[in-house]
A and B are shown apart, each in its own frame.
Chain A
Amino acid sequence: MDYSLSMEHEILRKSVRDFAENEIKPVARELDEKEEFSYDTMKAMAGLGLFGMFVSEEYGGQGMDYVSYIIATEEIARIDGSHAATIAAGNSLGIGPLYYYGNEEQKKKYLPKACSGETLWAFGLTEPNAGSDAGNTKTNAVLDGDEWVINGSKIFITNGSTDITAGVVALSKTGTRKDGRPELTSIIVEKGTPGFEARTMHGKLMWRGSDTSELYFDDCRVPKENLLGPVGDGFHQMLATLDGGRLSIGAMGLGGAQGAFDMALKYSKERVQFGKPISTFQVNSFKLADMATEIECARLLLYKACWLRDNEQPFGKIAAMGKLYCSEVMGRCVNHAVQLHGGYGLMKEYDIERFYRDHKLLEIGEGTSEVQRIVISRLIDAV
């Protein structure tokens, strides 16, 4: 057994950590407060090479392994959830489906700009009435001559309405399968297509510096070639995309937990009550000990899932476990960390306040914790 990361992984971690501390940390609180997506930090993240990490160099990517992508996401999340969301969604949900299911022409057309971070792509799956139950997708696409005509709407779509969004892959119902279930197909819709509109959603509890949108398709016509993969492959593509995406949500949980722990350790060693640093009271040092232990377990689980994926072994079960565990570990860590900060932890002047809010999405997005448990239950043959 070998638990070591490569030297390149270590260099990557240090570089992304320094970047996050110097370039993102100073602006994260204000962006959160103003509920604003930053094009400046987006450009800086793109410049560092944080888009297209797992895409091969021929399409403008970095040709790195999945562990590298996960370490980078983890390090950004250690400083700010919103920025990590832009990266995780941009890569796993935006770039991923185009890279894995696009034909040569589509990949050449869209990937270089997406990998340089000039453009962002979104993945439109969730609908007002189809969340966990994605099979219930109502957005439908009908072939009319050489064009697909799409009608319907999507909700909560990350990176869907930025100024640099190039388009969206919309999961659409194209018919009914023999077994009576909907036939789902992925269709590329470029921004600016008549009948397609993206509206930014406001009033979020968390990820306030990340772009979330509602998408509307009103007799939206796209060329027949805009199919991503064959008709009817949408459901399978979505499941595979989410398997990979879960690892990046796991990375956000892991990085967020680490960030919360780092803040809590520092604060509790400096904060003196009853004449002593509060970290020296056993009830508090035990909290820190529990956090450190759980973070270590979370990291091992998540990296194992990445290792399986990089070594082309089945990783779906461990990925679901990693997503579930990492996001719940972050939940426990932010709870302890705010507690250790006392009243100050409830104030916006302390970043831990933002971490406490940002955490909640991780138990909901890309499959809720309950859905992860359903997936795991099936994969361990319990049901």
Chain B
Amino acid sequence: MNILVCLKQVPDTETQIKVAPDSKSIVTDNIKWVMNPYDEYAVEEGLRLKEKFGGEVTIIGVGPTRVTESIRTALAMGADKGILVDDPALTGSDSLGIAKILAAVIKDLDYNLILCGKQGVDDDYGVVGSNLAELLGIPQISIVLKLEVSEDGSTVKAHREVEGGILVIEAPLPALITAQKGLNEPRYASLPGIMKAKKKPLDVKTISDLGLDAGQVGESGAKIKIMQITPPEERGAGKIVEGETPQEKAANLAKLLHEEAKII
């Protein structure tokens, strides 16, 4: 079973994000970049399927050279090889542009399953996986909590959480899955794994290697345009609800929710 995992690098969730003076981007100095947390679930799921069915796990990333570190981390976890698309023309790509690039990489590869994270925790668009499946013309099941591949490797059953229950969807392979938190518990990159990863292949490709031209991707190819980024409003101080008895406290809480928060 050959598995492809699409990996994005994002600012560490503990990073203090600051909006850049242009109001359309963030300050990237001093940011620590990490593998998108949802992609960690995708990598882990790929590794577990490989352990069960054999085959290879290939990691595909799009972005600048620094993304190599996240791809190598996935290789240290146990993936077999990596592909990085790194090209100055990529700057400013939207989700569709990224999906086009991924599709261009993937069209020449032999695969049974593609795994993505359900969204990048930076822009939070959550559509690269869907766009990619559409471009490749394969089934997609998004925000997956549990994945079962049939013994003969021909179909996949995926569990998704819906309001009040679990929806189980089956699709023939090849298919694309996007991973939700809870799909598994990602392993750590072990020390022997880190040493082995040094010797694993990692190909770097440019746009022209993929037969794309600069106009299709990057800022010029983007269908959406960021108008403005504003930091979230500062959270006000918390409030302790007063009252002598639980009943009185509950009544005061209801009053505050109604009159101040205006949510009931």
Contacting residues, chain A, for B95 (C-beta < 8 A): none
Give the nearest-CB partner of B190 in chain A.
A49
Q: How far is the CA of A8 from the CA of B190 in the complex (A)?
A: 11
A277 within 8 A of B: no
Q: How far is the CA of A63 from the CA of B188 in the complex (A)?
A: 19
B73 and A72 contact, CB distance less than 8 A: no
Among A69-84, those with CB < 8 Å from B are 72
- Beyond A62-B195, A63-B195, A64-B195, is A14–B73 a contact (Cβ under 8 Å)? yes
A53 and B191 contact, CB distance less than 8 A: yes
A64 and B68 contact, CB distance less than 8 A: no
Least Cβ distance of A50 to chain B in Å? 7
A50 and B191 contact, CB distance less than 8 A: yes
A58 within 8 A of B: no
B198 within 8 A of A: yes
What band does the interface of chain B fall in when counting residues whose beta carbon is under 8 Å from A? Answer: 10 to 19
B191 and A14 contact, CB distance less than 8 A: no
C-beta contact mask, B195-224 vs A, less than 8 Å → 1, else 0?
101100000000000000000000000000
Contacting residues, chain B, for A7 (C-beta < 8 A): 68-69, 72
B127 within 8 A of A: no
B198 and A8 contact, CB distance less than 8 A: yes
A11 and B189 contact, CB distance less than 8 A: yes
A48 within 8 A of B: yes
Contacting residues, chain B, for A10 (C-beta < 8 A): 69
Grouping DSSP codes into helix (H, G, I), strand (E, B) and loop, the A interface class, with mixed when no group exceeds half, is: helix
B194 within 8 A of A: yes
B177 within 8 A of A: no
Contacting residues, chain B, for A72 (C-beta < 8 A): 191
Contacting residues, chain A, for B175 (C-beta < 8 A): none
Query: Which residue of B68, B76, B198 contacts A15 across the interface (Cβ within 8 Å)?
Result: B76
- Beyond A8-B198, A14-B34, is A49–B68 a contact (Cβ under 8 Å)? no
Interface size in chain A (residues, C-beta < 8 A): 20
C-beta contact mask, A8-41 vs B, less than 8 Å → 1, else 0?
1011101100110000000000000000000000
A62 and B73 contact, CB distance less than 8 A: no
Q: How far is the CA of A19 from the CA of B191 in the complex (A)?
A: 12
Query: Which residue of B73, B188, B192 contacts A19 across the interface (Cβ within 8 Å)?
Result: B188
A365 within 8 A of B: no
Which A residues lie at the B interface, using CB under 8 A? Answer: 7-8, 10-12, 14-15, 18-19, 47-50, 53, 57, 62-64, 68, 72
Give the nearest-CB partner of A68 in chain B.
B191
The 10 closest A-B pairs by CB, nearest first: A49-B191, A15-B189, A62-B191, A49-B190, A15-B188, A49-B192, A19-B188, A11-B73, A7-B69, A48-B190
B76 and A11 contact, CB distance less than 8 A: yes
Could you pull out 27 A-B pairs where Cβ atoms are within 8 angstroms? A7-B68, A7-B69, A7-B72, A8-B72, A8-B194, A8-B195, A8-B198, A10-B69, A11-B76, A11-B189, A11-B197, A12-B189, A12-B194, A14-B34, A15-B76, A15-B190, A15-B194, A18-B188, A47-B190, A48-B188, A48-B190, A48-B191, A50-B191, A62-B192, A62-B195, A63-B195, A64-B194
- Beyond A62-B195, A63-B195, A64-B195, is A11–B190 a contact (Cβ under 8 Å)? no
Give the nearest-CB partner of A10 in chain B.
B69
Contacting residues, chain A, for B197 (C-beta < 8 A): 8, 11
Least Cβ distance of A52 to chain B in Å? 9
B191 and A12 contact, CB distance less than 8 A: yes
Q: How far is the CA of A103 from the CA of B122 in the complex (A)?
A: 54
Least Cβ distance of B102 to chain A in Å? 23
Q: How far is the CA of A47 from the CA of B189 in the complex (A)?
A: 11
Least Cβ distance of A42 to chain B in Å? 16
Give the nearest-CB partner of A12 in chain B.
B194
Contacting residues, chain A, for B194 (C-beta < 8 A): 8, 11-12, 15, 64
Q: How far is the CA of A68 from the CA of B194 in the complex (A)?
A: 11
C-beta contact mask, B68-91 vs A, less than 8 Å → 1, else 0?
110011001000000000000000
Q: Which of A47, A50, A62, A68 has the most CB of B within 10 A?
A: A62
Give the nearest-CB partner of B185 in chain A.
A22
